[in-house]
Structure 1
Amino acid sequence: MALDFYTIDDFALDNKTVLVRVDINSPVDPSTGLILDDTRIRLHAETIGELSNRGAKTVVLAHQSRPGKKDFTTLKQHAESLSKILNHKVEYVDDIFGSNARNSISKMKRRDILLLENVRFYSEEILTREPKLQSETHMVQKLSPLADYFVNDAFAAAHRSQPSLVGFAFMLPSAAGRVMERELKALYNAMDNVQRPCVYILGGVKVDDSIMVMENVLENGSADYILTTGLVANIFLWGSGINIGKYNKSFIKNRGYCEYVKKSKKLLKNYRDKIIIPKDVAVCMGDKRVEFSVDDIPNHPIYDIGTDTITEYAGYIRKAETLFANGPAGVFEKEDFNIGTDDILNAIASSHAFSIIGGGHLAAAANQMGLSKGISHISSGGGASINLLAGENLPVVEVLMERACRKI
């Protein structure tokens, strides 16, 4: 797929006001309110720093969590963290598009960086509507006249059609930031130039996402094998006729995933030779790891794939030329049940294949294990990357490409 959109290389930035949307949504300790991990802030610091170094007046738009969550808070800490990372003062304004925010933008000088308040404090930001309608919101209408360009670097939120993500592209010449550019080039290039065998490793608890990807890549023939782990594997075990025990069945039912058990049966019927399910699992018994063949699963929670399954999956990974992985293999946060996730990641990192890992828990685990250098691309956005792999259109990308015809 041709990626026809502007990048910041196409903009003359010196002394221009640039609105840049990033995704610095970070884990926050609910008891102290302190940011626990600044990975995303560091990631987007590259784009923000480049804009400033090229003389732009950089106005940063970002969100933190969503209404109702314990980590839904201001961006004051984010500004402080960004200042330290860039070694450059980042002014925080506790306003989004009111007079305080607009006056602060108007007073900016060359190379200044300003971070506006959490855009999700504004109720219209939560609403998902057609991109063109988002350009009519108060935020977009108030801030657009103050800027020369809009840069979208928020790949992790690219699957959402919200005002700060898609609205400004209808009002200002728009481009992709460095994170957005790098993500799209890596993912689209991998999908357009799949080397065989192509192996997908799908796990975690977001079964709906994984099933969506499965249906797409099996139907279009881009996947040679799909290795199932995590809750995804439990659903396919149940769908294949394996008795996974009352506890595990109840867990699936309580999450509202029974419909996916039915879908798994259909997928197994049509693609049984391509969908690989575990031959053994690790259950939690008395807080200990105990492994069982899938024919003898007791009524205890399944927390990981078993050793024989790990060995089998490693064989598929070694033979692969292209690897896509998303979601951990089990409850990797719990000691003794991280073996599947760790061994799968080690196998991916030591393989010769072109490998892509979706964002979220699996990416965090890879980084914690120091395996990032052995993986071709670790995505910053689990939801966006998984939607892309599932053949879904990303509103942010569509708008960037549609509006690239605007004269700069």
Structure 2
Amino acid sequence: MRILWDEMMPIDFKTIDDFDVKDKTVLLRVDINSPVDPNSGIILDGTRMKLHSRTIKELATKGAKVVILAHQSRPGKKDFTTLVQHANVLSQTLNLDVNYVDGIFSDNACTAIKNMDSGDILLLENVRFFSEESLNRSPKEQSKTVIVKKLAPLIDIFVNDAFAAAHRSHTSLVGFTKVVPSAAGRVMETELKILLNSLENVEKPCVFVLGGMKAEDSIMVMENVLKNGTADFILTTGLVANITLLAAGIDIGEVNVNFINNKGYCDMVKKVKELFKTYKSQIIYPIDVAVNSDGNRVDVSTDKIPNNYIHDIGVNSIKEYAKIIRTAKTIFANGPAGVFEDPKFAIGTYDILNAIATSNGFSIIGGGHIAAAAVANGFDKSMDHISSGGGASISLLAGKSLVAVEALKDSINKH
């Protein structure tokens, strides 16, 4: 992997390197939220376990008593479940024993923490089983919650490695930074270094490929990177492309217009129209699209779009986008190009990823569906960085601060 940042770059938060963790009790927040079979409870994919294994293993190898806090899904979801399966998968991934306790701050959980030896690893119960966890409040307010009051006296250091959840002001992510020395884990550290440095020291030309269904997020990114001069070109795909086409005055068919309106994206159409006034030459939209005609893929020019749902960008657009991608020195991609779950409409996503993977530019892939598509098609090994957190990485690209990261920064002056 090519590295875009200087390894000695100054950072404004502490990392594991700043602490002697031997014989210390370290509370480690990770994000191992995984696809789970709702019937059997079996974890279907352990990618996030592997991701955090570096931090967990390093702490345990250095002699820390590693207490892991994590969540799985949220209340009301079918995969909202205990972490007993996660402990088993983590044990296999690390090739180390990971003990599990059915509690977060119960007497059993607190006793288990007190009885740990150096190098032990203990996974506490799903932190979202406790209702206070998911309330978005300030770090100061979160530091006064029951979880923090119960666990803080038992730990020496708090390490936050949950980059994927860093945009959330939840108790386990921000509360401990107010009361105990705190640091970023290796996943958090790597994500921030790569994303922030690639934005601040971007190599030109820089191309953003923005798609998927979360159009508001992508259009916020579009606005930020155009206004701050990061992006030379924005290639629009997915619902973002449909909104951009509509903003350009192109008839995309009544069903697609209604879909945009029903999603509440009228303001996003207005936003793109405003951006066109200054950046129209930099915002690229498809010259053809693939519509779903009775279950079949039909590629049509954007000046002849029938009243059918648009499910992908067209083959001519793919060719044009690939040419632009291959001229770039930096490429950011977020969101699939179409309904990639259907093989007929996966062509745009596949070919865009292939163009990025075979380009000479430094490539960063957002989390979520685009990352899953990259891994499923074997492109992950050819990308420079695949982010572990879609929401968190998008927030950074949109110019927002991450509350959990800000909490880590603030903790430097408190401990």
**Within the alignment, does 1:201 sit opposite 2:209 as a pair?**
yes
Aligned with residue 390 of structure 1, among 398, 404, 411: 398
Cα contact 2:207–2:331 (8 A) shared by 1: yes
**Could you tell me which residue of structure 1 aligns to residue 66 of structure 2?**
58
Query: Is the partner of 1:303 in helix, strand or coil?
Result: strand
Cα contact 1:23–1:153 (8 A) shared by 2: yes
Aligned with residue 374 of structure 2, among 366, 372, 381: 366
Instruction: Report the Cα offset of residue 36 of structure 1.
Output: 1.3
User: What value does the CA root-mean-square deviation take over the aligned residues?
Assistant: 1.2
**Matches of 2:38 and 2:234 in 1, distance apart?**
37
Bigger Cα displacement from structure 2, 368-377 vs 57-66: 368-377
Bigger Cα displacement from structure 2, 361-370 vs 288-297: 361-370
Aligned with residue 30 of structure 1, among 34, 38, 42: 38
**Could you tell me which residue of structure 1 aligns to residue 323 of structure 2?**
315
**Within the alignment, does 1:173 sit opposite 2:177 as a pair?**
no
**Could you tell me which residue of structure 1 aligns to residue 240 of structure 2?**
232
Bigger Cα displacement from structure 2, 247-256 vs 129-138: 247-256
What one-letter code is carried by the residue in structure 1 that aligns with 2:232?
D
**Matches of 2:55 and 2:170 in 1, distance apart?**
21
What one-letter code is carried by the residue in structure 1 that aligns with 2:176?
F
What is the 5 A alignment of 1:242-391?
242-391=250-399
Instruction: Report the Cα offset of residue 53 of structure 1.
Output: 1.0
Instruction: Report the Cα offset of residue 19 of structure 1.
Output: 0.1
Cα contact 2:237–2:286 (8 A) shared by 1: yes
Query: Is the partner of 1:160 in helix, strand or coil?
Result: coil
Deviations 1:268-308 (A, max 9, x none): 23311110000000011121111000111111111100011
Instruction: Report the Cα offset of residue 237 of structure 1.
Output: 0.8
Instruction: Report the Cα offset of residue 406 of structure 1.
Output: 4.4
**Matches of 2:148 and 2:78 in 1, distance apart?**
27
What one-letter code is carried by the residue in structure 1 that aligns with 2:47?
T
**Matches of 2:42 and 2:345 in 1, distance apart?**
28
Cα contact 1:328–1:362 (8 A) shared by 2: yes
Instruction: Report the Cα offset of residue 332 of structure 1.
Output: 0.6
Deviations 1:138-192 (A, max 9, x none): 1011100000101110000111111100111111111111111111111111011
- Show structure 2 runs of 5+ residues with no match: 1-8
**Matches of 2:391 and 2:315 in 1, distance apart?**
29
Query: Is the partner of 2:220 in helix, strand or coil?
Result: helix
Cα contact 1:3–1:401 (8 A) shared by 2: no
**Matches of 1:177 and 1:166 in 2, distance apart?**
14
What one-letter code is carried by the residue in structure 2 that aligns with 1:4?
D
Query: Is the partner of 1:336 in helix, strand or coil?
Result: helix
**Matches of 2:179 and 2:140 in 1, distance apart?**
10
Cα contact 1:228–1:277 (8 A) shared by 2: yes
> Percent same amino acid among aligned pairs?
64
Query: Is the partner of 2:175 in helix, strand or coil?
Result: helix
Deviating above 6 A after TM superposition, structure 1's stretches of 4 or more consecutive aligned residues are none
What one-letter code is carried by the residue in structure 1 that aligns with 2:119?
R
**Matches of 1:161 and 1:372 in 2, distance apart?**
30
**Could you tell me which residue of structure 1 aligns to residue 3 of structure 2?**
none
Deviations 1:234-287 (A, max 9, x none): 111111111111211222222222221221222223311110000000011121
Query: Is the partner of 1:300 in helix, strand or coil?
Result: coil
Aligned with residue 143 of structure 1, among 144, 151, 154: 151
**Within the alignment, does 1:83 sit opposite 2:106 as a pair?**
no
**Matches of 1:300 and 1:17 in 2, distance apart?**
59
Q: What is the number of equivalent residue pairs in this alignment?
A: 407
Cα contact 1:201–1:324 (8 A) shared by 2: yes
Output the TM-score relative to the length of structure 1: 0.97
**Could you tell me which residue of structure 2 aligns to residue 8 of structure 1?**
16
Cα contact 1:230–1:327 (8 A) shared by 2: yes
What one-letter code is carried by the residue in structure 2 that aligns with 1:401?
K
Cα contact 2:41–2:85 (8 A) shared by 1: no
**Matches of 1:85 and 1:222 in 2, distance apart?**
38
What one-letter code is carried by the residue in structure 2 that aligns with 1:312?
E
What one-letter code is carried by the residue in structure 1 that aligns with 2:319?
T
Cα contact 2:158–2:177 (8 A) shared by 1: yes
Query: Is the partner of 1:132 in helix, strand or coil?
Result: helix
What one-letter code is carried by the residue in structure 1 that aligns with 2:302?
V
Output the TM-score relative to the length of structure 2: 0.96
Cα contact 1:21–1:60 (8 A) shared by 2: yes
Cα contact 2:178–2:414 (8 A) shared by 1: no
